[in-house]
Chains A and B, each alone.
Chain A
């Protein structure tokens, strides 16, 4: 049979499990003799740790033990970087527990093991910690003064400057007929998961084996980190991925707790579970995004972009975490977005501050870059008297220019190029969907007390990071098939997508793919995980290779048993045929074959956002009337899950555009410690969102033609909303240059405009 499951909007096979409450998350895993871990975290932003006295805590009934750095011979191990592991970052990496200094509110100081979480929390209050306060570094400007340094050894708060370069930007600027420079900034966000993090570890003393539950995202890599830290061979550590309630780049990276809990389990020879609570997660999980830039754009009078140049400053928080450099790196490389920019020079500084450390959050660096450049494009087009859509049309990269080389970044020396696409087609489609010609008459109009505004932006989304992914196909006892993956599920629907790919390749009904196993380290020999919108690109291509290898293995085995040439063997749903004979597939139970896909190039999906909003200028309130995202994903394996990704990430992006901001005071005290303070979008905030998924330009760099597609909704939301606000409030000359677009900020822009008009 010839299958076409790829391309069909199939409902997710995961959904019934989740909707019926049959998912198994790490907190659902029970174990006799379990101890609960509760973590004492620093309430001081910057200080010298003088002493920890846990004697009173140990007397609290139900407390088993209290673990501190003193329990770790040779000092607490360091969490190494996973991405961009440059030697420059080494001095700034995080110890798993504070031992000489504390550097942010929320840094682990001690771990209480108790018979319940409540008792553990009671005991926290009984631990006496003496900390000698040091001056806090609460923003990058203070960090840049280097008066108070977080790390004495390097003696500077700047861990690195990424340099993105293409052509000769300085020369281009020297000769440019038009230059505009602006100062822009984005808020501090994080990828809040519905299910907070959790780790459970068991230690088998007899076998010398450690089992870690709650693994997510990159279990194989994390196993290597843990192996080195805890001094056990990787074979002695099993990482188990349970159901995962959201990842967004933040969950599943190696955090201090990913050492502390396994260490505790081995230390006390009891199973230990730690479940992050909502208060903790806001200060313990990676932050992201807080970037500020001075950006210059040089243009010809006809609107052709000649060059971009600028400096970006990222507030890194207190430590360089596993993927902490990605945002600051990406913002420099992708500042040019989907546009033809021949000359690029961006310096991106990473500043250490006394805040929760940063990591990636869906669209890292790209959300910021998109806001920075797209905001400026609207201002520049107005300066030059060019329609802002025509300006974009003129500068978008065409398919004839593909593959298009982009700026390369030192010191990682990442040379890269866009892969395929006619970028303007998504823009035209988005304008058509929202009926731009009709709506354009509303721009800036005041109707019933609200100003109408339109925003339009284009974006590029990177995906498909290499170097490798693995997959394995196995025959089950009942003659169905299972797929085993080296990549992970963070809720993106990979069980459905991989089943579609495998069923098409094996030419069997999709129901014959009984289960798709993923994430845990026992399933395949090596895996890389779920990040950089790579699972379908890399994992899906690995499934294809595995199906080829599987068919070869099956032909070999069946040829012997059927007495025919291997080339005559065929798989017919649940039968294996050849030479006029037939066997049940179940007779080949446990027959298995692994496959892999190796690739160092990246996919680049792209698209456009168009928004119609209203602004109540006196309240500073934004309401979305209509919002359309068009994204070309190369090839949509499952249009339903792609739409889910686009709309879900769009809502997250709108949260960042108008609501979310993690705040600190000048002493580094954390001000947004609950969801009453850190405002996430709720179901009623952004009801009018639409998306169109296109697959007109397949990626040439993988056999499926797919591109990563999980981040396009979020990347352009800040830029689009800011442009729409500027458009709505054009009569006030309002030019938003920072996110989020809070009522206070919008009101201030209006006030400034009124004041200027009055003068």
Chain B
């Protein structure tokens, strides 16, 4: 489980980083926390010829909170999010989700940009990005561009990033103070990748749910929204009976995989249970 041979660079500017990535024609990989990449290299599943360590790049470690929402620099670590008291009001769903990420040591190192670029289907941050309609700022040889979360995530470990592009910022739209939210995931051990997870929120208009966003992760090959479950929620008064209905809708519209930890049928039922419970928790807030 020793790393394969590779070159290492630790550029001081974004342009330099992009040039290094571009110069290696897809053989180079950015290093942004390394909590997934390093084990993959140790198993020799990934064998990049060059690692471009992003840790010295300026301006990517900040959490900016403004009227238009939360901007997470790509190198913001899980620990930074959990320690930021402003996020309790500015994005409580993000904070709750991130508290489920892996273990203490990993939360001290893993970054939001690294996690999204890696795009593990069971990761919390991509799930939040999808649910909350985040926008990714990326920069590459051809310049800077933004990508909507729905376009960014394309499948298991697959994103819209070109080999020479790096994520610089993740923007989560503004969070109204009255917004209701819930987050549920279940893993066989605390800190493991979830067998299924649900992040959801809605606003209350005239006593009824509106603007419902329900995202699922750990089920299927990509984090995604659940439009039928959202439709079942929008325009209704949220009570236990509705939570059951929304859960059933969520269970019906996922395409769960089978693996050594969970059967497909179980995962489908679990999705429904978690959606129902997340909605009940949201209503109880």
Binding site for B on A (CB under 8 A): 116-118, 121-122, 125, 277-279, 618-621, 659, 661, 663, 671-672, 674, 676-677, 679, 681-682, 684-685, 742-744, 747-748, 751
Within the complex, which residue of A118, A278, A677, A743 is in contact with B262, where a contact is CB–CB below 8 Å? A743
Given A682-B189, A685-B190, A671:B260 Cβ within 8 A: yes
Chain B hits for A278, CB < 8 A: 1
Q: A650 to B30, alpha carbons, bound, how many Å?
A: 44
Closest B residue, CB atoms, query A740: B188
Within the complex, which residue of B39, B44, B190, B273 is in contact with A619, where a contact is CB–CB below 8 Å? B273
Chain A hits for B262, CB < 8 A: 742-744
Q: A406 to B278, alpha carbons, bound, how many Å?
A: 55
- Contact residues of B between 189 and 205, Cβ < 8 Å to A: 189-193, 195
Going nearest first, the 3 A-B pairs with the smallest beta carbon separation are: A118-B2, A744-B266, A277-B1
Closest B residue, CB atoms, query A120: B2
Q: A116 to B190, alpha carbons, bound, how many Å?
A: 36
Binding site secondary structure of chain B: loop
Nearest Cβ distance between residue B100 and chain A, in whole angstroms? 13
Binding site secondary structure of chain A: loop
Asked if A679 and B188 make an inter-chain contact with CB atoms under 8 angstroms apart, the answer reads: yes
Query: Can you pick out 18 interface pairs between chain A and chain B where the beta carbons lie within 8 Å of each other?
Result: A118-B3, A118-B5, A121-B2, A277-B1, A619-B186, A619-B270, A659-B188, A661-B260, A672-B260, A676-B192, A679-B189, A679-B261, A685-B189, A685-B190, A742-B261, A744-B266, A747-B270, A751-B269
Given A121-B2, A618-B273, A677:B186 Cβ within 8 A: no
Closest B residue, CB atoms, query A125: B44
Count residues on chain B whose CB falls below 8 Å from chain A CBs: 24
Q: 13 new A-B pairs (CB below 8 Å) besides A674-B39, A682-B191, A685-B190?
A: A121-B4, A122-B4, A619-B186, A621-B186, A661-B260, A672-B260, A676-B192, A679-B261, A681-B189, A743-B188, A743-B195, A743-B266, A743-B270
Nearest Cβ distance between residue A226 and chain B, in whole angstroms? 27
Chain A hits for B4, CB < 8 A: 118, 121-122
Closest B residue, CB atoms, query A685: B189
Chain B hits for A671, CB < 8 A: 260
- Contact residues of B between 136 and 194, Cβ < 8 Å to A: 186, 188-193
Asked if A618 and B269 make an inter-chain contact with CB atoms under 8 angstroms apart, the answer reads: yes
Asked if A742 and B188 make an inter-chain contact with CB atoms under 8 angstroms apart, the answer reads: yes
Asked if B192 and A679 make an inter-chain contact with CB atoms under 8 angstroms apart, the answer reads: yes
Nearest Cβ distance between residue B251 and chain A, in whole angstroms? 11
Chain B hits for A659, CB < 8 A: 188-189
Chain B hits for A118, CB < 8 A: 2-5
Tell whether B13 is near chain A: CB-to-CB under 8 Å: no
Closest B residue, CB atoms, query A746: B266
Q: A674 to B261, alpha carbons, bound, how many Å?
A: 13
Chain A hits for B191, CB < 8 A: 682
Tell whether B108 is near chain A: CB-to-CB under 8 Å: no
Q: A744 to B193, alpha carbons, bound, how many Å?
A: 16
Q: A125 to B2, alpha carbons, bound, how many Å?
A: 13
Max chain B Cβ within 10 angstroms of own Cβ: one of A116, A118, A618, A672: A618
Chain B hits for A672, CB < 8 A: 260
Nearest Cβ distance between residue A570 and chain B, in whole angstroms? 58
Given A679-B188, A743-B195, A743-B266, A122:B5 Cβ within 8 A: yes
Chain B hits for A116, CB < 8 A: 2
Q: A121 to B189, alpha carbons, bound, how many Å?
A: 32
Nearest Cβ distance between residue B32 and chain A, in whole angstroms? 20
Nearest Cβ distance between residue B34 and chain A, in whole angstroms? 16
Asked if B190 and A117 make an inter-chain contact with CB atoms under 8 angstroms apart, the answer reads: no
Asked if B44 and A121 make an inter-chain contact with CB atoms under 8 angstroms apart, the answer reads: yes
Chain B hits for A679, CB < 8 A: 188-189, 192, 261
Q: A231 to B64, alpha carbons, bound, how many Å?
A: 72
Q: A659 to B44, alpha carbons, bound, how many Å?
A: 27
Q: A751 to B268, alpha carbons, bound, how many Å?
A: 13
Tell whether B8 is near chain A: CB-to-CB under 8 Å: no
Asked if A279 and B186 make an inter-chain contact with CB atoms under 8 angstroms apart, the answer reads: no
Given A277-B1, A659-B188, A684-B190, A677:B44 Cβ within 8 A: no
Asked if B2 and A743 make an inter-chain contact with CB atoms under 8 angstroms apart, the answer reads: no
Chain B hits for A677, CB < 8 A: 260
Q: A619 to B260, alpha carbons, bound, how many Å?
A: 16
Asked if B186 and A663 make an inter-chain contact with CB atoms under 8 angstroms apart, the answer reads: no
Chain B hits for A122, CB < 8 A: 4-5
Chain B hits for A663, CB < 8 A: 260
Q: A659 to B4, alpha carbons, bound, how many Å?
A: 32
Closest A residue, CB atoms, query B266: A744
Chain B hits for A117, CB < 8 A: 2
Tell whether B15 is near chain A: CB-to-CB under 8 Å: no
Max chain A Cβ within 10 angstroms of own Cβ: one of B44, B191, B269: B269
Q: A618 to B4, alpha carbons, bound, how many Å?
A: 44
Asked if A748 and B188 make an inter-chain contact with CB atoms under 8 angstroms apart, the answer reads: no
Q: A681 to B188, alpha carbons, bound, how many Å?
A: 10
Closest A residue, CB atoms, query B43: A279
Nearest Cβ distance between residue B37 and chain A, in whole angstroms? 15
Nearest Cβ distance between residue A472 and chain B, in whole angstroms? 41
Q: A116 to B4, alpha carbons, bound, how many Å?
A: 12
Q: A421 to B186, alpha carbons, bound, how many Å?
A: 45
Closest B residue, CB atoms, query A116: B2
Nearest Cβ distance between residue B134 and chain A, in whole angstroms? 27
Nearest Cβ distance between residue B249 and chain A, in whole angstroms? 17
Closest A residue, CB atoms, query B184: A619
Chain B hits for A676, CB < 8 A: 192-193
Q: A682 to B4, alpha carbons, bound, how many Å?
A: 30
Asked if B5 and A744 make an inter-chain contact with CB atoms under 8 angstroms apart, the answer reads: no
Asked if A744 and B190 make an inter-chain contact with CB atoms under 8 angstroms apart, the answer reads: no
Closest A residue, CB atoms, query B263: A744
Q: A751 to B269, alpha carbons, bound, how many Å?
A: 10
Q: A117 to B273, alpha carbons, bound, how many Å?
A: 47
Nearest Cβ distance between residue A665 and chain B, in whole angstroms? 10
Max chain B Cβ within 10 angstroms of own Cβ: one of A659, A674, A744: A744
- Contact residues of B between 1 and 53, Cβ < 8 Å to A: 1-5, 39, 43-44
Asked if A747 and B266 make an inter-chain contact with CB atoms under 8 angstroms apart, the answer reads: yes
Q: A85 to B95, alpha carbons, bound, how many Å?
A: 60
Chain A hits for B186, CB < 8 A: 619, 621, 743
Given A679-B189, A742-B261, A743-B186, A620:B1 Cβ within 8 A: no
Chain B hits for A121, CB < 8 A: 1-2, 4, 44
Chain B hits for A684, CB < 8 A: 189-190
Beta-carbon contacts of B248-260 to A below 8 Å, as 1s and 0s?
A: 0000000000001
Q: A121 to B44, alpha carbons, bound, how many Å?
A: 10
Chain A hits for B270, CB < 8 A: 619, 743, 747
Chain B hits for A279, CB < 8 A: 1, 43
Chain B hits for A748, CB < 8 A: 263, 266
Q: A600 to B189, alpha carbons, bound, how many Å?
A: 44
